[in-house]
Structure 1
Amino acid sequence: MTPPLCLLFDSDGTLVDSEILLAEVMGEILPAFGLPFSARQYMEEFRGVRFKTIIEALEARHGALVDGRFPVMEDEMRGLMERRMRAELQPIAGMPAALDALSAHPKAVVSNGPEPKIRCAMESTGLAPHFGDNLFSAYTLQVWKPDPDLYRQAAAAMGQAPERCVVIDDATVGVAAGLAAGMHVVHLNHFPEEEATPEGAIAIRHASELPAVVARLADSA
């Protein structure tokens, strides 16, 4: 019997509904450090993008931070984000049931966020048992989406060939990374009226659609 496909999930916006929390936290913290920013700007322009890359883009527009202020700002942002996650974070609608239905598949979380944030998200929402220690952080591996090597390294650590992996990601940077890695890609598109699903990826609008899509991919693999 062919082994089940390996499922590689993004975290923010895919497994957990953290994007608006992060947008609000950044909209609060960044202006205090002299970088104009709003929650809406994060959602429209920077969703899923590495924090340092966002700051570099804002510095190019508004001027550089004072030397030594980036680590302070990042620490404040991470601390406030963790407090809000532990108090408010919820799984993406339909995702717990989808994960239950996909229990036979090996799974991992592959995120542009730091590992403590990934663990906090999984623990806060009760999703941790689905993944165990299969948590792959760009900060640990030192490669960030849209670089496909983040997904490739996660697949290798899981003992899986790229063609036996399914990436599930809501952000365009993650979808691009999965496609470039030579994997099946499911785009959980929360904004289909505003965001097109790249060619080669499968679009879904709700997590409840995921088990059927994975079953079709398994049949055709």
Structure 2
Amino acid sequence: MNTPTSFCLLFDCDGTLVDSEVLLAEVMGDILPEFHLPFSAQQYMDEFRGVRFQTIVQTLESRFQTLGKDEFFTLEAGMRARMETRMRAELVAIPGMSDALELLSSHPKAVVSNGPEPKIRCALESTHLGHHFADRLFSAYTLNVWKPDPELYRKAASAMGYAPHECVVIDDAAVGVEAGLAAGMHVIHLNHFPNEEVTPAGAIGIHHANELPTAIARLTAQVAV
């Protein structure tokens, strides 16, 4: 069994490693109404952060009107293309995350995201964080399971060679925190909205990436006792 000092760190991508949520919200707020699905950027931030795109569209279809199959594929392709353009031009890392990753360099790390792998790679390339993870990228689209299903994190842990209790999930969104807890892992909730969101019982809440190394160190010390 791996020792507590070798906790495997499983990072969400959007909103955790990279500050992409507002960009994604704006892209969705622009393109969804073009397909007669009323939507706003604020609605994404309030209701759908971290949720699979298809699930968002299906929810809107239930409220307004159903898209044809070809329309959905056109919509998704358009959203992905616009998002990549915005990411390559504007995306930055979450404040403090680059330094935190350097301080956590001794831990094995992976990215576990509800987004497709090309989007993950684009995010890491655009923010120069990719060297921390190499090819240890686990996409829901590749593994065919999406948060809040805990199986996404479990599959990532297994591929990394770690048991669930040897892993720490770092995630900003409710769906990811829920998935990590259900997977039987330690969970650190990077809560960007402490006045609006409550960190669930069982998870550790932090408000800034610069708190992450200390939180990991405390977890390690607790497990070692």
Report the counterpart of residue 63 of structure 1 in structure 2: 65
Structure 2 residue 130 is the aligned partner of structure 1 residue 128: yes
The more displaced of 12-21 and 59-68 is 59-68
4+ runs deviating over 6 angstroms? none
CA root-mean-square deviation: 0.9
The aligned residue for residue 41 of structure 1 is: 43
Pairing partner for 1:19 from 10, 18, 21: 21
Partner of 1:74: 76
Distance apart, 1:66 and its partner CA: 3.0
Question: Any unmatched runs of 5+ in structure 2?
Answer: none
Deviations 1:72-130 (A, max 9, x none): 00000000000100000000000000000000000000000000000000000000000
Secondary structure of the corresponding residue to residue 15 of structure 1:
coil
* Alignment partner, residue 173 of structure 1: 175
Q: Distance in 2 between matches of 1:77 and 1:96?
A: 27
- Counterpart of 2:202 in 1: which secondary structure? coil
In 2, the alpha carbon distance for the partners of 1:140 and 1:130 equals 21
Query: Which residues of 2 match residues 67-106 of structure 1 at below 5 A?
Result: 67-106=69-108
Return 42-51 or 64-73, whichever deviates more: 64-73
Shift of 1:67: 3.8
Q: Distance in 2 between matches of 1:74 and 1:173?
A: 21
- Report SS of the residue matched to 1:186: strand
For residue 44 of structure 1, what is the amino acid of its counterpart? D
Identity %: 69
TM-score by length of 2: 0.97
CA distance in 2, matches of 1:198, 1:112: 20
In 2: Cα distance, 1:189 partner to 1:169 partner: 9
Q: Give the whole-Å Cα distance in 2 for the aligned partners of 1:195 and 1:62.
A: 28
| Residue identity opposite 2:91 in structure 1 | L
Distance, in Å, in 2 between the alignment partners of 1:110 and 1:93 is 20
Task: Report the Cα distance in structure 2 between the residues aligned to 1:157 and 1:139, rounded to whole angstroms.
Answer: 16
2:38 alignment partner AA = P
Among 145, 169, 175, which residue is 1:143 paired with?
145
Equivalent residue letter for 2:162: Q
Q: What secondary structure is seen at the aligned counterpart in 1 of 2:6? A: coil
What is the alpha-carbon distance in structure 1 between the residues aligned to residue 9 and residue 151 of structure 2? 16
Which of 193, 205, 208 is equivalent to 2:207?
205
Structure 2 residue identity aligned to 1:70: F
Of 158, 168, 190, the match for 2:192: 190
Measure, in 2, the Cα distance between the counterparts of 1:217 and 1:4.
11
Normalised to the residue count of structure 1, the TM-score between the two structures is 0.99
**Deviation at residue 218 of structure 1 after TM alignment:** 1.0
